[in-house]
């Protein structure tokens, strides 16, 4: 059974469902704690204790503040899904922080250059966003497409990681 752990970050509330120190599910950023917890509970997470919860929450806070979070790319994650999905999700960890790759790159990496749409579908079902960084996949022309948290959040995550120049705030 997965235990939920949530925290407030500079980008909003985020959390994970942990099972024996391994992330099984994660959220993007929410406006409220309740929304974050509701998402995790919908997938069976319950209140409880996990020995790595404090560590995970610290990594999330560091990531959202732009002061770290590199540990996300190697923290143990075990997503539930079909074999193709799991292979695609875990391959995301090959994309370095601060860089992007295309859906076509991922399809070729998985051994089927014509599977870019299947890759997109797998990314849409990613149960561990941020930790399995599907936001680092972009269209072949570099444009942003398809992200469960919306394109504005995808843009913000890529800016935070240095993969895109920061937008100027207009008055």
Catalytic residues: 134
Residue 136 near residue 99, CB atoms below 8 Å: yes
Residue 69 near residue 63, CB atoms below 8 Å: yes
Tokens of 76: 């143990």
Residue 3 parent element (H or E): strand 3-9
Q: Phi and psi for 12 in degrees, rounded to 5?
A: 125, -170
Instruction: Please name the residues in contact with 167: beta carbons below 8 A apart, sequence gap of 6 or more.
Output: 155, 159
- The residue among 9, 18, 22 whose CA lies nearest residue 48 is 18
Residues 46 and 42: their CA atoms lie apart, in Å, by 10
Q: Is 17 exposed, middle or buried (0-12, 13-18, 19+ CB in 10 A)?
A: buried
């Amino acid at each position: 059974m997965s235990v939920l752990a949530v925290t407030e970050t500079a980008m909003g509330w985020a959390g994970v469902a942990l099972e024996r120190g391994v992330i099984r599910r994660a959220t993007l950023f929410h406006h409220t704690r309740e929304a974050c917890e509701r998402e995790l509970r919908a997938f069976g997470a319950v209140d409880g204790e996990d020995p790595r919860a404090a560590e995970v929450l610290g990594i999330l806070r560091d990531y959202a503040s732009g002061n770290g979070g590199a540990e996300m790319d190697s923290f143990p994650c075990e997503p539930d899904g079909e074999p193709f999905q799991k292979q695609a999700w875990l391959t995301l960890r090959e994309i370095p922080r601060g860089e992007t790759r295309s859906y076509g790159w991922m399809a070729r990496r998985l051994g089927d250059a014509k599977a870019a749409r299947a890759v997109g579908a797998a990314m849409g079902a990613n149960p561990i966003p941020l930790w399995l960084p599907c936001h680092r996949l972009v269209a072949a022309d570099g444009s942003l497409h398809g992200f469960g948290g919306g394109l504005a959040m995808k843009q913000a995550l890529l800016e935070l990681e240095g993969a895109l120049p920061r937008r100027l705030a207009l008055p």
